[in-house]
Amino acid sequence: MATKKVFTILSEYGFWGVELVGPMEKLEAAGYKLDFVTPFGKIPHALPPSYDPTYMDPPLGYPVTTPEDAAKVKALEESDKLHHPLNLAEIFPQRPYFAAANFLREFEDYFKKVKIAQQKLVEDYDAILLVGGSGPIIDMVNNSRVHQVILAFHKANKPIAAICYGVTCLLFARDFNERKSIILGKHVTGHCLEYDYLDGTGFLNTDLNMGPPPYCLEFMLADAVGPQGQFHGNFGKETSVIVDYPFITARSLQCSYEFGDQLVNMLDNGLKRYGW
């Protein structure tokens, strides 16, 4: 039964504004409610460059945020819409260390709790949305709780939507024992090599400038999908949105509205393939 709700995970270290605003606008217009979630329940904020229409994107060499999108993101920042996110750490338990004194019993208890949380999640929500920006590199990509959310929707065969560096989370969401990529054999898109920064990968709540991103997402995705799947960078094309059900992936901020349209199309019209 459709719930008309989307479980929307945001980084506490900064998300790219329109990568939330774009799909949110489309989903809400179609009658969906977005429940916002952060790793520890802190209020998420958009990265300042994502609501600065004069900000020059270094790889592309031109401003990438339109004045209209900047205004929408700034309005969201000034509202209280994101002020009460769910705390993912209260929904899913933390996986115990293997050196725990009573590891086997703790591990069994962990999987029992995970199963209960996953069942409730897929009963309450129609889809998951993983919003991008540089922040996810810190607190979403290798977060086992985020992985369990993704696995829940994968097992339930419900839409899994990810944009920009939110796509990276799909690479690490693997069954603990099988350890195989859930996107093996799938068609996906994501940040291609040509879009990667050489310097200036920064985050909110820290002065850290990582320089370039710590990995090339294109190479990781191309390896994870294997020979039967395909990574689509679509460099040179304005947008890149790929649907290979249950996944919908989008390359970067320019795709945000098309990404939202096709996620609604998946939810309401059963779209299974798009963009390849």
Domain boundaries, the chain: 5-274
Range 5-274 has CATH code 3.40.50.880: yes
What's the token pair of residue 102?
């009573």
How are beta strands 187-188 and 230-231 bridged, if at all? parallel
The pLDDT tens digits of the residues spanning 29-38 come to 999 999 999 9
Q: Residue 214: is it exposed, middle or buried by C-beta count within 10 angstroms (0-12/13-18/19+)? A: exposed
| CA–CA dist 35, 272 (Å, integer) | 24
Q: pTM of the predicted model, to two decimals?
A: 0.97
**pLDDT at residue 137, rounded to an integer:** 97
- Three-state SS string over 121-150 comes to HHHHCCEEEECCCCCHHHHCCCCHHHHHHH
The pLDDT tens digits of the residues spanning 169-224 come to 999 999 999 999 999 999 999 999 999 999 989 999 898 899 999 999 999 999 99
The pLDDT tens digits of the residues spanning 129-147 come to 999 999 999 999 999 999 9
The values of phi and psi at residue 25, to 5°, are -60, -45
Q: What is the dihedral of CA 271, 18, 214, 221, to 10 degrees?
A: 10
| CA–CA dist 21, 82 (Å, integer) | 12
**pLDDT at residue 68, rounded to an integer:** 98
Q: Taking the CA atoms of the chain, what radius of gyration do you get in angstroms?
A: 18
